[in-house]
Chain A
Amino acid sequence: MHPDSSFAVLEAIDVVIDRQWSTLGAPGLWMTGEERTEIVRIARSRQAPVDADDPAAAAASLAAHRAATITADTVDELESRGVRREHYVEIVGVVSRVAAIETFDRGIGRPARPAPPPLPGVPSRHVVAAAKRRAGWVPTVDAISPPTALQAVPPEAAAQEALHGALYLSYPGMADLAAVRGLSRAQMELVAARVSYLNDCFF
């Protein structure tokens, strides 16, 4: 822990991120624990392959390090190489959570975490019947939006929501434009806007 960090604030965040980090290597819907830990490794690597023979590795590298360059054609091509859209959604969920947790740790001056261990088990390959392609590139149950983008893989959508609530605001809490949470809402949004700008993301 950074010596100047507030223990109470950190504790509330750590409850969520420690649990999420420790289970990144658990089997998902479309990947084994070993496959997910390989996705984590690629997400953490500064020398990640861009044109890997393994399309799942290529997807992870793109989502982790060059997400702003991904297009509908990219996702189509990955699908043609065997990465079905739900599998792709799980990859995006894993790499995006790695980015969140590592950014937080680095921000408060914490050393990098040990890699999460792969856990035994088999992917459930559960298909969410109500998830369909809509305006975006992946199937969703509701109209695609930031909170619904991972709905085709419910555990990833739930993890995204929990992390969003711990690090920023709950989805319902976002309606409170005068919220104060260590920072004023305007200060939080200034941080958010600068991060998005630096990532070439207009979100």
Chain B
Amino acid sequence: MLRASAHATGQAIDLRAITDRATDPLIDAGIGLLAFVTALIGGDPSDLDNARTALRDAAGPDAVVRAAAVAGNFQMMNRIVDATGVPIGPSMRAIAADLGLEAADLA
């Protein structure tokens, strides 16, 4: 969906940023969004405070609320998919190489 949405709006995207923090995703406020999400999902509370402030300063308070909301949604969806055995389709396997993932990593 990330690649498709970027293509739909003519936005450049570097998918490697999902797995490699040293890579710039090339999306507006992308580095701040990745730092916020990384701190939010199991990070140190002080890191989260700093990341939240940085994202708010870079993209505004609505971006913080929306990023937290989307992260919450995918915390839910990840658990549902993994716990119920939803199969991974061919299209998702096809982008594994873009993310640096091995086929064996895919359930």
> Residues of A at under 8 Å CB distance from B?
2, 4-6, 9-10, 13, 62-64, 67-68, 70, 72, 75, 89, 92-93, 95-97, 99-104, 106-109, 135-138, 144-146, 149-150, 160, 163-164, 166-168, 174, 177-178, 181-199, 201-203
Contacts and interface: CB of A to CB of B under 8 A. Distances in A.
5 contacts: A75-B85, A104-B72, A107-B71, A146-B81, A185-B5
A96 B66 contact: no
A136 B85 contact: yes
A103 B86 contact: no
B42 A135 contact: no
A196 to B, nearest CB: 6
B106 A202 contact: yes
Nearest to B41: A198
Interface of B: 1-2, 4-9, 11, 13, 15, 17-19, 25, 27-30, 33-34, 36-38, 40-42, 48-49, 52, 56, 59, 61-88, 92, 96, 99, 101, 105-107
B1 A192 contact: yes
Contact of A136 (B33, B74, B87): B87
Contacts of A13: 65, 69
Going nearest first, the 9 A-B pairs with the smallest beta carbon separation are A107-B68, A182-B66, A137-B85, A177-B8, A104-B72, A189-B2, A100-B76, A136-B85, A167-B73
| Dominant secondary structure of chain A at its interface with chain B | helix
A144 B65 contact: no
A202 B92 contact: yes
B52 to A, nearest CB: 6
Contact of B41 (A95, A108, A164, A199): A199
Given A101-B72, A106-B40, A136 B29 contact: no
A124 to B, nearest CB: 21
A171 to B, nearest CB: 12
Contact of B70 (A70, A72, A192, A199): A192
A101 to B, nearest CB: 7
A144 B61 contact: no
B9 A190 contact: no
B61 A4 contact: yes
B28 A184 contact: yes
B76 A108 contact: no
A194 B34 contact: yes
Contacts of A195: 37, 41, 70-71, 74-75, 78
Contacts of A95: 79
A2 B30 CA distance: 22
A188 B72 CA distance: 12
A89 B85 CA distance: 11
Contact of A183 (B48, B66, B72): B66
Given A182-B62, A187-B67, A189-B2, 19 more contacts: A2-B64, A5-B64, A13-B65, A67-B83, A89-B84, A103-B68, A103-B72, A106-B40, A106-B48, A137-B85, A144-B85, A150-B80, A167-B72, A177-B7, A185-B5, A193-B15, A195-B75, A195-B78, A197-B19
